[in-house]
Amino acid sequence: MSEPIEVLPAGECHVWLARAPVVLPVNLVRCYEAWLTDDEWARYQSFRFERHRHLYLLTRGVVRATLSRYADVAPGEWRFAVGSHGKPYVALPAEAGRLSFNLSNTDGLVACAVAREVAVGVDVENVMRPGDPMSIAAQFFSPREVRDLSALPWSRQRERFFAYWTLKEAYIKARGLGLAIPLNQFSFLLDEEKPEIGLLIDEGLSDDPCSWQCRRPSVAPPHALALLVRRGLRADFVVRLREHEVHSGEAEEAQPMIDQSRAGTSLG
Ligand SMILES: CC(C)(COP(=O)(O)OP(=O)(O)OC[C@H]1O[C@@H](n2cnc3c(N)ncnc32)[C@H](O)[C@@H]1OP(=O)(O)O)[C@@H](O)C(=O)NCCC(=O)NCCS
């Protein structure tokens, strides 16, 4: 028996999180593989490392299962298209196209943000990934953000760096333009005394910072998450974090998520 359809109110954004297990159960692998289109299958097969292949598969499974919670559409029936800068959106079934979504994945975590007919962008990062925050910030962040980071003691720079990083990624993903937006031409304003997150956007980017709702819902370490929703003139969206259960399989029937030949990823 299929699950009942859930209501996604117009004023809500749901962020579904899936912890990527060390091993992906073989039945889940088979189920998610069966949902892939030919193009997705080709991309799935093209990954060199097993852990990247499985993270890709888990991400595809999560987005299909998530969208099917809110529409009477079987997970394997969704068809996606991408915008001119690569942002995926629902192409079919056409009547379900009112669901907007955005995806992010990193070592150990997949996130899928869903809302109705508004631009959303989500980013997750594993804050333990190696790399020097200050040198990356100097290369990509705005002067204001770099100044803020520089003023912090070393022990707090990494956390603040990932707060900026995820927010900046979520913004360029919400707009759908990716790295076509210069990362140093907009700034987030973080203040530990205030829950609100400010946003300043250079004139050249032709965007109204007030139209965005910026959030950093807390997720379990070692991950950081940021979400941007284009609220327009609406009141703030209610943001709900939801957990997509991924049960680890028995070791002997599980597919490895860890590729021992690759010890980590770098920040660059
Ligand atoms: C591609 C990009 C949009 C996100 O890349 P990312 O942060 O490495 O990866 P994430 O897991 O967060 O997001 C990838 C997903 O975003 C979606 N996506 C791709 N292009 C997108 C776009 N233009 N807009 C919104 N979403 C996009 C896709 O669903 C993609 O996953 P898929 O290919 O498996 O479907 C882009 O911002 C990028 O390449 N960033 C590089 C990171 C960087 O250099 N950051 C500098 C410091 S801030």
Q: Whose CA is nearest to atom 29 of ligand 1?
A: 103
Q: What is the pTM of this model?
A: 0.91
Nearest ligand 1 atom, CA 121: 25
* Residue to substitute in 32, 103, 118 for testing ligand 1 pocket (most ligand atoms within 8 angstroms of CB): 103
Whole-angstrom distance, CA of residue 78 vs CA of residue 68: 9
Q: Which amino acid is at 43?
A: R
Burial of 205 (0-12, 13-18, 19+ CB in 10 A): middle
The dihedral over CA atoms of 90, 96, 98, 104, expressed in degrees to the nearest 10, equals -40
Give the residue ranges of the chain where pLDDT is below 70.
Answer: 1-2, 97, 247-268
Residues with CB under 6 A from ligand 1: 56, 59, 85-88, 102-105, 123, 140, 165, 168-169, 172-173, 176, 178-179, 183
Give 82: exposed, middle or buried? Use CB within 10 Å, 0-12, 13-18, 19+: exposed
Q: Are 112 and 101 in contact (CB under 8 A)?
A: yes
Count of Cβ atoms closer than 10 Å to residue 112 Cβ: 25
**Residue bearing tokens 């327009």:** 232
pLDDT at residue 252, as a whole number: 37
Residue 215 CA, chain-centre distance (Å), reads 13
The pLDDT assigned to 24 comes to: 86
Q: What is the pLDDT of residue 254?
A: 45
Q: Is residue 136 exposed (0-12), middle (13-18) or buried (19+ Cβ within 10 Å)?
A: middle
